[in-house]
Each structure stands twice: as C-alpha cells, then as structure tokens.
C-alpha cells in the first residue's frame, strides 16, 4: 500500500474525489493500471471502475465515482425499492 494513503475510505469526500481524479489523470498519461493502484494505495478493481466511469462520463462526474455505484447518471434497480425488492429503509 502507498505511504500516501492508509485507507482511502477514511478520506473526506472531496479528498476521495481528488484521489480519483489524480488516479485517472495518471491513466490518461499512460501509467499502467497496476502502477496507479499501487501509487495511490487503492485496489486494481477501484482503478478499473474509476477508469470505466471516466470514459463513460468524463471528469465532470467524479463525485459519483464512489465504489459500488453505477455509471455516472445511471440508476440501478427499481424506483422505490430496496436491494431485496421491498420498501426502502428509512434514512438514519
């Protein structure tokens, strides 16, 4: 893991967005995916997801590139339903 980041999940949302943008910039500049993951202390899966989402929607949507989310602007599932198809849980 990189000395720069212990665990990116503990960064503020704005710092996470900056990390995603820097990682994608490194990919655009020609760095290997594995190198980018090691450099920024994130998984290869995260780097691949950010790269795919950047290619789909560009840098203007970087705040929506969080792990587990779909492509920028995409909505998954059925409206008004939780993961199991039942009513959504109330917000805590």
Phi, psi values for residue 10, rounded to 5°: -90, 0
Q: Tell me the per-residue pLDDT of 51-60, one tens digit each, with 9 for 90 and over.
A: 999 888 866 6
Work out whether the CA dihedral 8, 9, 10, 12 comes out positive or negative.
positive
What are residue 48's DSSP bridge partners?
Answer: none
Predicted local distance difference test score (pLDDT) of residue 7:
77
Confidence at residue 81, expressed as pLDDT on a 0 to 100 scale? 39
Domain extents in the chain: 11-58
pLDDT at position 21: 92
* Start-to-end CA span in the chain (Å): 33
Q: What is the pTM of this model?
A: 0.60
pLDDT at position 66 is 57
User: Can you give the pLDDT of all 92 residues of the chain as single tens digits?
Assistant: 445 556 788 889 999 999 999 999 999 999 999 999 999 999 999 999 999 998 888 666 555 555 554 444 444 433 443 444 444 444 44
């Amino acid at each position: 893991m990189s000395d720069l980041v212990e665990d990116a999940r503990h960064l503020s949302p704005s710092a996470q967005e900056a990390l995603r943008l820097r990682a994608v910039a490194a990919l655009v500049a020609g760095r290997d995916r594995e190198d980018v993951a090691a450099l920024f202390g994130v998984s290869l899966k995260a780097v691949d997801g950010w790269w795919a989402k950047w290619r789909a929607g560009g840098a203007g949507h970087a705040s929506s590139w969080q792990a587990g989310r779909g492509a920028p602007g995409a909505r998954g599932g059925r409206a008004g339903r939780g993961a199991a198809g039942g009513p959504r849980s109330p917000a805590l």
